[in-house]
């Protein structure tokens, strides 16, 4: 049985792997590019990392980790995935375990991700975040909506959270992480993330 967070991560991965832009079009989005273009590049780089992972799983994990490092604010997502009482105690070991967990989930799901594509449908700039909405299209039909919550940086955009069908991935993770936290605090959660149990 698959946990809800793994289902949402799988849906996110399918969406992100669906771009299919040619590798020669990959370019890091800079401050003058739109958030939608940044999402396109992220999707292309994740697709390339997944392809690498099909040939060599260790190289695929390294490539996925590099994409997460470059484009995602993993610390922000890791903290958002914790219930409030645990956030102050979160340390580098937890953030690292969270990133390895995401990387493994992306690599695991990449082999069965399908051939969908992600079609940005618009972006909305708010005071602190830009939301990029995108449809996941498979076999010519829309199968789900994904939204990327992004912040502008000096060099472009970074993903600080993601919704799949309107549900924040980190909100679902809070629900999934709570039993581990209740059983043994952050050490138990880190053990869970490291073991993907």
Sign of the Cα pseudo-torsion (166, 34, 128, 97, in order): positive
Task: Break the chain down into helix, strand, coil percent, rounded to 5.
Answer: 55, 20, 20
- Bridge partners of 167, per DSSP, are 164
pLDDT of residue 144: 83
Q: What is the pLDDT of residues 109-125, one digit of tens each?
A: 543 444 556 678 899 99
Q: Are 42 and 15 in contact (CB under 8 A)?
A: no
pLDDT of residue 83: 94
Q: In what order do the strands lie in the sheet with 167-168?
A: 117-125, 130-138, 141-153, 156-164, 167-168
Q: What is the pTM of this model?
A: 0.78
Determine the structural domain holding residue 81 and report its residue range: 4-195
pLDDT of residue 17: 44
CA-to-CA dists, residue 75 to 2, 16, 35, 92, 165, angstroms: 25, 20, 20, 9, 23
pLDDT of residue 155: 86
Residue 53's domain is classified under what CATH number?
A: 3.10.450.710
Q: How far is CA 136 from the centre of its chain?
A: 15
pLDDT of residue 119: 77
What values do phi and psi take at 34, rounded to 5?
Answer: -80, 160
| DSSP states of 35-95 | HHHHHHHHHHHHHHHHHHHHH-HHHHHHHHHHHHHHHB-HHHHHHHTS-HHHHTT--HHHH
Number of H helices, E strands in the chain: 7, 5
pLDDT of residue 1: 42
Number of domains forming the structure of the chain? 1
Q: The tokens of 106 are what?
A: 């992306």
Q: What is the pLDDT of residues 156-195, one digit of tens each?
A: 999 999 998 889 989 999 999 999 999 999 999 999 999 8
Residues whose CB is less than 8 angstroms from the CB of residue 63 and which lie 6 or more positions away in sequence, other chains included: 48, 49, 52, 53
Q: Which residues of the chain have pLDDT under 70?
A: 1-32, 107-118, 196-197
Q: Give helix 35-55 / helix 57-71 axis angle, nearest 10°.
A: 170
């Amino acid at each position: 049985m698959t946990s809800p967070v793994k289902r949402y991560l799988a849906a996110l991965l399918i969406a992100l792997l669906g771009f299919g832009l040619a590798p020669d079009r990959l370019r890091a989005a800079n401050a003058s590019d739109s958030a939608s273009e940044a999402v396109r590049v992220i999707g292309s780089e994740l697709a390339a990392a997944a392809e690498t992972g099909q040939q060599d799983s260790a190289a695929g994990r390294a490539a996925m980790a590099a994409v997460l490092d470059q484009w995602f604010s993993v610390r922000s997502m890791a903290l958002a995935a914790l219930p409030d009482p645990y956030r102050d105690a979160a340390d580098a070991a937890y953030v690292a375990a969270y990133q390895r967990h995401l990387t493994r989930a992306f690599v695991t799901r990449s082999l069965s991700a399908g051939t969908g594509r992600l079609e940005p449908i618009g972006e909305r700039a708010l005071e602190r975040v830009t939301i990029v909405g995108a449809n996941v299209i498979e076999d010519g039909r829309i199968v789900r909506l994904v939204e990327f919550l992004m912040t502008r940086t000096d060099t472009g955009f970074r993903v600080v959270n993601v919704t799949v069908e309107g549900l924040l991935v980190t909100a679902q993770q809070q629900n999934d992480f709570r039993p581990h936290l209740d059983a043994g605090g952050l050490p138990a959660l880190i053990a869970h993330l490291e073991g993907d149990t």
